[in-house]
Amino acid sequence: MPPRLLLNPASLNLVRPELARLIRQAQTEFDSAVQQDPGAHDLGPCREMLAQADGVLRMIELGDAALLTRELGELLKALPLDNPRAMEAITRAFFVLARYLDYLGGRRQAAPELLLEHINALRGLLGRDALGEASFSQLVILPDRHCPPPAAGGEEVTDALLRRLRHHYQVGLIGVIKGRSDPVHLRLMQRAAERMCRLSGGGAAADFWWLLTGVLEGMVLGQLRSNPARARLLSRADRQFRDFLQKPDTRASARLGDDLRGELLYLVAKCRDGKRIREIQSLCEVVDAAPPDQQLVEERKLLMGTSVDSIDSMVRLLKGDMHRIKDELEQAASATEPRPAT
């Protein structure tokens, strides 16, 4: 399994001061524009600095930060500054971009998962499709690894059964979409997907349901958290139900697209336990190929913590206060010293 977006710390440390300067100056230009009449201020210098930062980031092969920088520059060009959602997304992107450079200091791997939310926020405002969680993954998808055949004696496929399974899945999905990702709703979906996996007969035609059951198992076990992007991914199953019902002649020849396969497989790779999870990871050779959700929660806290520049400023401020307090104490001590008797 290839490593996850390896990073050269020496290269990053060499260019980080220049990157920090470019981002800081671009943000200053943006802040100045916000305080003035948006229609009368030229954001060209801000976008030019971001373009330079993008070039440097691509030179050191830090593609995730480069993409965030590029999307930020394009949003600044496309939307007026009086758009509240755009203002919030731009401000947050500047903040996260500066923090990310500090976060990566001394590390040997990038963490694009931490930037994906912010990249997609900018893309949404630009009218672009959101990137999937596996967009920066280096998972190798082996083309000859498919769902194992079910045990002998499979049940008969009838329209009534398919409609019932679809209804059960939809009930669980509605709960997830409404924010009720409890085991009851998730297990309802899991059981429906398991039945569909058996009804599909194994092999390539059953790959979607096979991988989906792994994702749902991870969610039931609490190893995968629910979020809007994952709810949208789970909603893809309803189309599969519909096609299975309406196109019986193509059931055996159905094939899972590479993008959807990659997204499902990436989520399974994030899990560490579960019968179906272990089966998929073993057959597809993706064990420990992606960071678990809990690890990302901790890494996100580190990313949003105090930056190096903030720490330096705080240290300088504290040093100044210490010198001032020392001087005041010395003056107070001098004033209270007993004077020699005359």
| Separation of alpha carbons 180 and 231, rounded Å | 11
For position 312, what pLDDT does the model report? 47
Output the pTM of the full model: 0.80
CB-count burial class (<10 Å; 0-12, 13-18, 19+) for 25: middle
For position 265, what pLDDT does the model report? 94
Q: Per residue in 53-86, is it b (16+ CB within 10 Å) or e — as a string?
A: bbebbeebebebbbbbbbbbbbbbeebebeeeeb
| Separation of alpha carbons 307 and 198, rounded Å | 52
For position 315, what pLDDT does the model report? 44
For position 304, what pLDDT does the model report? 87
Q: Which residues of the chain have pLDDT under 70?
A: 1-5, 37-41, 81, 152-154, 287-289, 306-342
Query: To which residue do tokens 């440097």 refer?
Result: 56
